[in-house]
């Protein structure tokens, strides 16, 4: 059945691939983004979707943004919390802002989107929330206490909200991507990335589409018995 889906951070990288895979399932897809207007315009034109700009780390902006989407496009039945940032650095060099920005956007964004959309899903007795976690939330990563804590928090958030949604046919799942060929991973210094890739049994970075396919499955009607789970898609780098 066709539904309205929103993908945060949906105009580039993994988010854009998720938009495409949900579109391929017949859904009406809306992308949220925070900063890059050019990329958003390009993505919206290419996919023929609407892109809405707000910062998911901002509670009020998220409540308003989702209300606008619901009134202009329709009630939101599928939420993919994909928006994420990095501010890598070892703890002794990390500022409070580096910590706080990552917690606010990566973890706070999931709370804000759920606050805006979960009540409607509960009332309509159907919903799908997929939160994009990370291998680094499962295993930790040198230089990422902020990101690893936020992503690890996403996995706990997922399991708690899954319990609240289950009896309303609202499933809540996470995907934990490994290192995927995106701008975010390209920002890792080459010498560091080489060592990371050497530890991936499949022997390469993942592709955004490989994450998107997992999201499409979790958002389908057929996945109604899958909730509170974490799907690891990481080329075997971490078996959890």
Binding site for ligand CAA (CB under 6 A): 86, 88-90, 93, 134-136, 141-144, 147, 177, 179, 184-185, 188-189, 192
147 is catalytic: yes
Minimum distance from CB of 141 to ligand CAA (Å)?
5
33, 52, 142, 147: the catalytic one is 147
Please identify, using beta-carbon distances, which residue of 142 and 240 lies nearer to ligand CAA: 142
Please identify, using beta-carbon distances, which residue of 20 and 146 lies nearer to ligand CAA: 146
**Which residue number places its CB atom closest to ligand CAA?**
143
Q: In 3-state terms, what secondary structure has residue 121?
A: helix
Please identify, using beta-carbon distances, which residue of 63 and 188 lies nearer to ligand CAA: 188
Question: Is 119 in contact with 165 (CB distance < 8 Å)?
Answer: no
Minimum distance from CB of 188 to ligand CAA (Å)?
5
CA–CA dist 227, 229 (Å, integer): 5
CA–CA dist 165, 226 (Å, integer): 12
Joined together, the tokens standing for residue 160 give 């708690």
Joined together, the tokens standing for residue 108 give 């706070």
Q: Are strands 4-7 and 76-81 parallel, antiparallel or unpaired?
A: parallel
Minimum distance from CB of 195 to ligand CAA (Å)?
8
Minimum distance from CB of 13 to ligand CAA (Å)?
10
Q: What is the largest CA-CA distance in the chain?
A: 51
Please identify, using beta-carbon distances, which residue of 86 and 131 lies nearer to ligand CAA: 86
CA–CA dist 208, 7 (Å, integer): 14
Active-site positions? 147
């Amino acid at each position: 059945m066709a539904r309205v889906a929103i993908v945060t951070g949906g105009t580039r990288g993994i988010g854009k691939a998720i938009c495409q895979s949900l579109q391929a399932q017949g859904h009406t897809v809306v992308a949220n983004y925070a900063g890059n207007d050019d990329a958003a315009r390009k993505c919206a034109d290419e996919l023929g979707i609407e892109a809405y700009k707000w910062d998911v780390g901002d509670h009020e902006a998220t409540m308003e943004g989702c209300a606008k989407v619901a009134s202009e496009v329709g009630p939101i039945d599928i939420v993919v919390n994909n928006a994420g940032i990095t501010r890598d650095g070892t703890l002794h060099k990390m500022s409070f802002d580096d910590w706080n920005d990552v917690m606010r956007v990566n973890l706070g964004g999931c709370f804000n989107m759920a606050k805006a959309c979960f009540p409607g899903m509960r009332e309509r007795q159907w919903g799908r929330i997929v939160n994009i976690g990370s291998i680094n939330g499962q295993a930790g990563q040198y230089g990422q206490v902020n990101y690893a804590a936020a992503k690890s928090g996403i996995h706990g958030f997922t399991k708690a909200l899954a319990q609240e949604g289950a009896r309303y046919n609202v499933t809540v799942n996470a995907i934990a991507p490994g290192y995927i060929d995106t701008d975010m991973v390209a920002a890792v210094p080459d010498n560091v990335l080489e060592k990371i890739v050497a530890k991936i049994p499949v022997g390469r970075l993942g592709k955004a589409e490989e994450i998107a396919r997992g999201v499409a499955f979790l958002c389908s009607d057929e996945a109604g018995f899958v909730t509170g789970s974490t799907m690891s898609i990481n080329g075997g780098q971490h078996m959890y």
